[in-house]
A and B are shown apart, each in its own frame.
Chain A
Amino acid sequence: MIKLVNLHKSYPIGKTDKLHVLKGINLHIKEGEFVSIMGSSGSGKSTLLNIVGLLDSHDEGEYYLNGQKIENLNETKAAVLRNKFLGFVFQSFNLISYKTALENVALPLYYQGMKRKERQKIAMEYLDKVGLKNWANHLPSELSGGQKQRVAIARALVTKPKVILADEPTGALDSTTTDSVMELLKEINDEGMTVFVITHEEEVAEQTKRIVRLKDGIIISDEKTR
């Protein structure tokens, strides 16, 4: 599903210097896997997620998403691919504050050009799936952190993507809600969805099926849990 071959990425600092963030990443994630990327801050895990999420481009190496080689993407193509293949879950939820839970979930479908009625029907199904059917018409400000993240997960799922990309999905949550969100991600994975989690919390990583540890831009270990 995701295949990275000798991936490099560096950011310019000032006029001449460069910060080499990813120094040759080789990673292969198959369909249906539940993978976590572990690393302290500065290890390059966020950069990796941005590249995998088509939010940023790599300098060297190859990246295959769903068998398709990713290169020379312009913004429009990237937007279409993101919408089609990827579902994002962010640490800070990133819900649109003036839209209801239902509208937030339906938004990716809007950009697919789906009709409103159909969109809302599907969005409602996914809200139901994350247990928030009764909160459909609430604004994000009226939801708890765990509820917000579940809305975000429903939004990530609504386009039936190939991969869910979760960037510190539990970073802003307490331990009880963390468990419930991880439980939800596990359920989704059990249904066959590829889930790609980025975290620096050992407890979160342990709940996934494969842990990839990153340090200073290189993979230092890659092992299955249990």
Chain B
Amino acid sequence: MDNALPPETPPSTPSPAPPGPAPDRRLFQRLTVLSIIALFAGSLAVAVIGLRQKTESVPSMDASKLLLSRRPNLVGVVSLRGPIYDSDESRMFGAPRIEAWVRRFKRLIEKENVKAIVIEINSPGGSVGAVQEIFSQVKKMRSKTEKPVIAYVGDVAASGGYYVASACDKIVVHPGSLTGSIGVIFSVSNFTELMKKVGVQMTPIKSGKHKDIGSPTRNMTDEERKLLQDVIDDAYGQFLSAVSEGRNMPLEQLRPLADGRIFTGAQARKLGLVDVLGDSEDALNLAAELAGMQDAPQAIRDSDPWQGLIEILGSAFKGHSLGSLSGLSRPRLEYMWGGLGGAE
């Protein structure tokens, strides 16, 4: 590394500075520095103008409109992976997962040079609220921007994953992808025997007789079972309506398929639950075709490469109790397929 530096000079023993360069040479040197400053200022100005134009629609820092100006026809790709929950696990360093996903999706679809979107789904579903949030945002942005949105299923888009896919214009799956599992689940644990063994007794003081419905510390009554069944039936009805509307499929045709069973991509195609058997490239091409793009589509991915690390760090900081991880003490309404160990 020593050789990387110019010859050493003894600063602590000042010696007379060498005579400066000739005036002509100095003028040239100053003009050189001025040119570099002008180049920098020009670049900064161009970037700032680009940012200002973009921020009219998206109030966050994003110069991609400016920087991608040579690529006017893009297909945005955004991934939706894993169980869909509106968890707080990443809140320590940023927005919760669903909020961050919706923001990324919106940012991508609102880009002027992005003509269509492909959502890569690989999810067994998730909580009803989180799934419906994504479903609703996808539908809203579709109608607002009038840009086609394609769902591409990798391994699995079951239950809530399929719910989200049904919000898209078309669904592309591999023949062996797993999909379907249309239904709702609400799992309630029962610890009564265990609590008897360890000598623990819970005494809830409640304002109404159903305030502790779903409590794991006692057996469920028939009345409670009926109430919960009504809740599940209602959420199930919402699922059916969403799929029926999204897929343009009559409820009578859909209902027999919606008993929670899963389908391969090929089976789902025959039944009309998906549109195309293909791969990620086919999904891109379909998106480009629906957007009326003439040239071969170029994909732009708006992912957050730090999100994984943030989630790991967040979970390490936060710590977990056995209950919070296993979900045993936290019953919730889910559009979730349990075949991948997803349902708790």
Q: Specify whether A and B are partners.
A: no
B residues lining the A interface (CB < 8 Å): none
